[in-house]
Structure 1
Amino acid sequence: MYPMLKPALRRAWRGRGTVQFGVTPAHAVKLSPMDIATGCFLELLDGTRGLPLLREEARALDLSDLQVDTLVSRLTDAGLIDDVRAVGSEADALRNRPGALERHRPDLASLSVVHPEPGGGMRRLAARRAMRVQVRGAGRVGAAVAAVLSGSGVGRVEVLDGGCTEPWDVSPGGLPPAAVGERRDTAARQLVRRSAAGSAPRASETAGSSAGGEPGLSLIVVAPRDGLGVYAPDPRPAEPWIASGTPHLYAGVMEATGVVGPLVLPGGTACAGCLALERADRDEQWPRMLSQWQSGRRTAVQACDLGLATAVAGLAAAHALSFLDGELPASTGTRWEAALPLLDWRSERIGAHLGCSCGAAGHTEGERVSGVEAAHDTMAG
Structure 2
Amino acid sequence: MAPAVKPALRRGWRDLNTVQFGMAPAHALTLGPVDTATGSFLDLLNGTRGLPLLREEGRRMDLPDGHVDQLVERLARAGLLDDARGGGPAADELRSRKEVMARLRPDLASLSLLTTEPGEAIARLAARRSLRVQVRGAGRVGTVLASLLAGAGIGEVDVRDVGRVEAGDVAPGGLPAESVGERREEAARRAVRRAAPDRPPRRGRADRLSAGEPGFSLVILAPRDDVAVHAPAPSTAEPLIASGTPHLYAGVVEATGVVGPLVLPGETSCAGCLHEARTDRDPAWPRLVAQWRSGGSRPGRACDVTLATTVAGLAAAHALSFLDGQLPTTAGARWEVSLPGLTWHARPVWAHPACPCGTAEKGKGERPSKDEESHETMAGQRSPGKLCREADVARPAGTWRAHV
Residue in 2 that maps onto 1:264: 263
1:104-154 superposed Cα distances (whole Å, 9 cap, x missing partner): 000001001111110111001100000000000000000000000011100
Residue in 1 that maps onto 2:108: 108
Structure 1 stretches lacking a partner, 5+ long:
204-208, 368-381
Q: CA offset at residue 210 of structure 1?
A: 7.6
1:51-97 superposed Cα distances (whole Å, 9 cap, x missing partner): 11111111222202311111111100000110111142321221232
Which deviates the most, 42-51 or 63-72?
A: 63-72
Partner AA of 1:348 in structure 2: R
Q: Distance in 2 between matches of 1:82 and 1:320?
A: 25
Residue in 2 that maps onto 1:171: 171
**Conserved 8 A contact 1:130-1:201:** no
Partner AA of 2:89 in structure 1: S
**SS of equivalent residue, structure 1 residue 215:** coil
Residue in 1 that maps onto 2:61: 61
Q: Distance in 2 between matches of 1:324 and 1:201?
A: 22
Residue in 1 that maps onto 2:23: 23
Residue in 2 that maps onto 1:48: 48
Residue in 1 that maps onto 2:135: 135
Residue in 1 that maps onto 2:194: 194
**Conserved 8 A contact 1:155-1:201:** no
**SS of equivalent residue, structure 2 residue 39:** helix
**SS of equivalent residue, structure 2 residue 15:** coil
CA gap of 1:299–1:227, structure 2 versus 1, over 3 A, is: closer
Alignment of 1:298-377 (within 5 A): 298-364=297-363
Q: Distance in 1 between matches of 2:288 and 2:298?
A: 19
Q: Distance in 1 between matches of 2:2 and 2:218?
A: 35
Q: Distance in 1 between matches of 2:222 and 2:86?
A: 36
Residue in 2 that maps onto 1:273: 272
Residue in 1 that maps onto 2:223: 224
CA gap of 1:147–1:282, structure 2 versus 1, over 3 A, is: same
Aligned length in residues? 361
Q: CA offset at residue 363 of structure 1?
A: 2.8
**Conserved 8 A contact 2:137-2:161:** yes
**SS of equivalent residue, structure 1 residue 158:** strand
Residue in 2 that maps onto 1:371: none
Q: CA offset at residue 200 of structure 1?
A: 1.1
Q: Distance in 1 between matches of 2:119 and 2:210?
A: 30
**Conserved 8 A contact 2:152-2:196:** yes
CA gap of 1:82–1:201, structure 2 versus 1, over 3 A, is: farther
**SS of equivalent residue, structure 2 residue 140:** coil
Q: Distance in 2 between matches of 1:307 and 1:91?
A: 36
Give the CA RMSD over aligned residues.
1.6
**Conserved 8 A contact 1:253-1:309:** yes
Residue in 2 that maps onto 1:237: 236
Q: CA offset at residue 215 of structure 1?
A: 2.6
Q: Distance in 2 between matches of 1:201 and 1:180?
A: 26
Structure 2 stretches lacking a partner, 5+ long:
367-404
Residue in 2 that maps onto 1:374: none
Residue in 1 that maps onto 2:151: 151
Q: Distance in 1 between matches of 2:316 and 2:289?
A: 28
Residue in 1 that maps onto 2:122: 122
Q: Distance in 1 between matches of 2:209 and 2:118?
A: 32
Please give the TM-score of this superposition, normalised by the length of structure 1: 0.92
Residue in 1 that maps onto 2:291: 292
1:263-283 superposed Cα distances (whole Å, 9 cap, x missing partner): 000000000000000000000
Residue in 1 that maps onto 2:282: 283
Pick 1 or 2: higher relative contact order, CA cutoff 8 A, min separation 6.
Answer: 2
**Conserved 8 A contact 1:251-1:261:** yes
Partner AA of 2:26 in structure 1: A
**Conserved 8 A contact 2:134-2:220:** yes
**Conserved 8 A contact 1:136-1:161:** yes
Residue in 1 that maps onto 2:160: 160
1:33-59 superposed Cα distances (whole Å, 9 cap, x missing partner): 111111000000010111111111112
Q: Distance in 2 between matches of 1:364 and 1:277?
A: 17
CA gap of 1:184–1:83, structure 2 versus 1, over 3 A, is: same
**Conserved 8 A contact 2:87-2:120:** no
Which deviates the most, 91-100 or 73-82?
A: 91-100
**SS of equivalent residue, structure 1 residue 216:** coil
Partner AA of 2:297 in structure 1: R
**Conserved 8 A contact 1:55-1:64:** no
**Conserved 8 A contact 1:4-1:45:** yes
Identity of paired residues, percent? 61
Q: CA offset at residue 201 of structure 1?
A: 6.4
1:207-247 superposed Cα distances (whole Å, 9 cap, x missing partner): xx886133310001110111221221000010010011100
1:301-358 superposed Cα distances (whole Å, 9 cap, x missing partner): 2110111111000000000001000001111111100000010001011100011110
Partner AA of 1:278 in structure 2: A
CA gap of 1:175–1:210, structure 2 versus 1, over 3 A, is: closer
1:276-306 superposed Cα distances (whole Å, 9 cap, x missing partner): 0000000001111110001032242211011
